[in-house]
Amino acid sequence: MRSLDKALISLVILGFLTVQAIAGSGKTIGPFERAPYQWPFLDYPMYSLPRFEGDEVGRPLLVGIEPDSTEVEIEPQDLGLDIFPYIRGPLRAVRYGNREAAELFRDLYEARQGVRVIGFEIEERPIVITRAGYRPGPPKRVASMTFEPWYNYRTNP
Partner 1 sequence: MRRLVRAWRDYWFRDASLLNLAVCRVVIVATQLKVLASMSYDTEAALPAAMYDPLPVLHLMLAPVGWHYRPSLAAVEAIHNLTLGAGVLALVGLFTSVGLVVFAAGNVFLQAYQYSFGNFHHPEAPIIIGLMILALSPAGGALSIDDLWKRIRSNVRRLEFEPARLLERTSPYAGWPLRLIQWTLGLVYLSAAYAKLRDGGLDWTNGYTLRYYLVQDGLIWGSDLALWFGTQHFLAQILSWLTLLVEGTFFLAVLFPPLAWLYLPAAAGLHLGIELTLRAPFLRWVALYSAFIPWNRAVRKVSIWWERHAKEATDVFFDGHCALCLRSVTALDYLDWGGRLRFRNLEAEGTILTAARPDVDLADLRAEMHVVGPDGEMRRGFFAFRHLAGRLPLLGPLALLLRLPGAGRIGPRIYAVIARHRRRRLHCNGAACAVHDGTQA
In this structure, are residues 129 and 140 in contact, taking their beta carbons and an 8 Å threshold?
Answer: no
Q: Is 99 in the site for partner 1 (CB under 8 A)?
A: no
Contact string 122-141 vs partner 1 (x = CB under 8 A): -----x-x-xxxx-------
Residue among 84 and 150 whose Cβ is closer to partner 1 = 84
Name beta bridge partners: 72: 64
Sites for partner 1 among residues 42-71 (CB under 8 A) = 42-53, 55, 57-59
Burial class (CB in 10 A: 0-12, 13-18, 19+), 34: exposed
In this structure, are residues 94 and 120 in contact, taking their beta carbons and an 8 Å threshold?
Answer: yes
> Minimal distance in Å, beta carbon 35 to partner 1?
10
Sites for partner 1 among residues 67-86 (CB under 8 A) = 80-85
Local structure of 95: helix, strand or coil = helix
- Angle, alpha carbons 119-75-145 (nearest 5°): 20
List residues near partner 1 by CB under 8 A. Answer: 5-6, 9-10, 12-13, 16-17, 20-21, 23-26, 32, 36-53, 55, 57-59, 80-85, 88-89, 100-101, 104, 108, 127, 129, 131-134
